[in-house]
Amino acid sequence: EFSTKYLLSSSDCDGYPVADILAIASSDEKSLWDQMSLSYTPCEGSSFLREAIARHYPNLSAENCLVASPGELNFIAMNVLLEKTDHLITISPGYQSLSEVVKSIGCEISYWKPNPENWQFYPADLEKLIQKNTKLIIINFPHNPTGSYISNAELLQIIEIARSNNAFLFSDEMYHKLVFENTQELPAVATLYEKGISLWGTSKSFGMAGLRTGWVMSQDKNLLQKIQNFKDYLSICTSPPTEILSLIALNHAEHFLLPNLKKIKKNIQLFEQWTLKHPQFFKFIAPQAGSTAFVQINSKGSSLEFSNSLVAKTGIMTVPGEMFGYNGKYIRIGFGRENMPIILEKFDDYLIEYSHQI
C-alpha cells in the first residue's frame, strides 16, 4: 500500500490536511487546540469529545460512548463478549477482523452471505444460521466490500432475530453517512437495541483515517466498562491532538462528508462508464451506499494472481477476493480517491496487453 503508486482499492477517502480542519474550527475549538498539552487523556475519551459524538445518536449520551481506535475496539469487544464455546454469525465477504479475531478465540462461526447477483443480504438467510449457543451477530452496512445496503425494515428484522435469541448485535458502521440521495439512512443499532453495539469513527466517512479515532456506542454500560478495562492494557488513551481534531470534524460534519460523497458518486459514474468499455473483463454492480464495490473479473488465473500482475506491471494496487475469504474472482474497488481517472487510464493500457492472455 505504501510502496506502490496507484491505489484503486482503498476503502477510505483522500485524507484532509490538518490545516483544512483547523481552518473551519470555531473560536472555542481553536482555543482548545492552542491550549493543548500532550498529556494523558481519560481512558474512555475526553468528555468534550464523547459529548460531540453522542449528539449524533438520538436518546444516547456521552455515558453510552467509549473512544479508541476502530480496530482496537473491534478486537476488545470480541474478546470481552466471547468464549470458545460460543457460536457467532458474521457477514461474508467482509473486513477480515470481523472474522479473524473471533477465529483466534476459537468460536464456531457461521457466515451470512449475500445473493451474488445483486449483493443483497436477506434477513431470512440470517435467521437460518441461528444456533442454541449463538452469542453474537456481526453486521456491516454500508457493506465493505460490496457496497450493499439494507432497508430500515430489514434492520428491524435483524434486531428482532438477535433479540429473540438473546444475542448481542455488533454493527460495524464505519461507512455511516456515506449514503446517496433517495436512500434512507439507517439508524445506529445502539439506538434501537438494548444489546446493540455501534462502531463508527473518522476513518471512512470523514476522510481522516490518520487520526485513528473510533468509538463504540451501547446502552449496556457494564459492557462499556469491560471494554474500557481491557483498553487499559492496550492504548490506554487517545492522544490530545487526535481528540481535538476529531471534535472539529464531528461539529462540522457536513463540511467533510459532503465533498467525500460528491467524489464517491462521481467516481462510481466514471468507473461504470469505464467498465462498459470492457464488458469482457468486468461485471460491475454499483454500490448502494459506502465507498467500495466488489467487482467480478474475467481473468486467466485467480483474482490474487491478477492483482499481483497488475501491481507489478502498472503500480496499480487492488485487493483481491481472496483477502475477504470469498470464493470466485473479484477485486474490491474504492471510489474515494481523486486520482481515479488517472488510474483508469493506466488500467486501460494494461488491459490491452492482458486481453491477449485470456
pLDDT in tens, 263-320: 999 999 999 999 999 999 999 999 999 999 999 999 989 999 999 999 999 999 999 9
Output the pLDDT for position 352: 86
pLDDT of residue 272: 98
Q: Answer whether residue 354 shows pLDDT above 80.
A: no
93-131 confidence digits (pLDDT tens): 999 999 999 999 999 999 999 999 999 999 999 999 999
**pLDDT at residue 353 is higher than 90:** no
Q: Which residues contact residue 256 at a Cβ distance below 8 angstroms, ignoring those fewer than 6 apart?
A: 16, 205, 206, 207, 208, 249
In this structure, the chain runs to a length of: 358
User: In this model, does residue 358 exceed pLDDT 60?
Assistant: no
Distance of CA 229 to CAs 66, 81, 225, 238, Å? 11, 13, 6, 15
Condensed to tens digits (0 to 9), the pLDDT of residues 240-271 reads 999 999 999 999 999 999 999 999 999 999 99
- Name residue 68's beta-bridge partners: 214
Whole-number percent of the chain with pLDDT over 70: 99
pLDDT of residue 177: 97
Cβ atoms of 138 and 131 closer than 8 Å? no
C-alpha cell at 212: 485513528
CA–CA separation, 130 vs 89, rounded Å? Answer: 8
Tens of pLDDT, residue by residue over 146-170, are 999 999 999 999 999 999 999 999 9
Give the HSE-up count for residue 82: Cα atoms under 13 Å, Cβ half-sphere: 30
| 63-103 pLDDT tens trace | 999 999 999 999 999 999 999 999 999 999 999 999 999 99
Q: Which one-letter DSSP state was computed for residue 335?
A: -
Q: In 3D, which of 287, 266, 279, 284 has the Cα closest to residue 351? A: 279
Place of cell 479508541: 68
Output the pLDDT for position 357.
61
Residue 211 has what DSSP assignment? G
Residue 356: pLDDT over 70: no
Sort strands 282-283 and 87-91 into parallel, antiparallel or unpaired: unpaired
Of 71, 54, 2, the C-alpha closest to 234 is 71
Q: Round to whole Å and give the CA distance between 142 and 155.
A: 12
- 3-state SS assignment for residue 198: strand
The answer, yes or no, to whether residue 235 has pLDDT greater than 70, is: yes
Confidence of residue 144 (pLDDT cuts 50, 70, 90): very high
Closest among 298, 282, 286, 291 to 344, alpha carbons compared: 282
Rg (CA), the chain: 21
